[in-house]
Amino acid sequence: MIESRTSKLNESLLDIQSAQNKVIANNIANVDTPHYKSKSIDFQEELRRKLEGGKELAMKRTHAKHLPMNGASASAVPFRIIETKNTVINNNNNNVDIDYEMSNLAKNQLLYNVTVDRVSGHYSKMKKLLQDLR
């Protein structure tokens, strides 16, 4: 299929937003787990690097037992998961703020839906273009 730089970036954005959704859901699931520390994805920094660099970011193995990234798509954007250690919300040393996590989940879902519409629109235009060429 015909791809553009924008469509590759949007697909990378979908990957990051999907991972962000998993991290938020994990935080919500562990809201009452003693000593659990909330996690987040360093999303903005990685997206900024991707947009400013203009080149693909390379994945690298940090441990010999990690699986190789041979099957990864060329548009994949690496990201870091950051654990927030310096705050405590509950008496059990847990720092998950359920209201904050739920608002992040809603925000992430809206951004994901917008990005899906953009990717879908791109491929719909390409499909229509190819059909009109017949």
> For residue 82, what pLDDT is reported?
85
pLDDT in tens, 56-108: 555 667 777 776 655 444 445 567 788 888 787 777 889 999 999 999 999 99
Q: Compute the mean pLDDT over every residue in the chain, rounded to the nearest whole number.
A: 80
> For residue 56, what pLDDT is reported?
54
User: Is this prediction's pTM over 0.75?
Assistant: no
Buried b or exposed e, range 99-120, using 16+ CB within 10 angstroms: eebeebbeebeebbeebeebbe
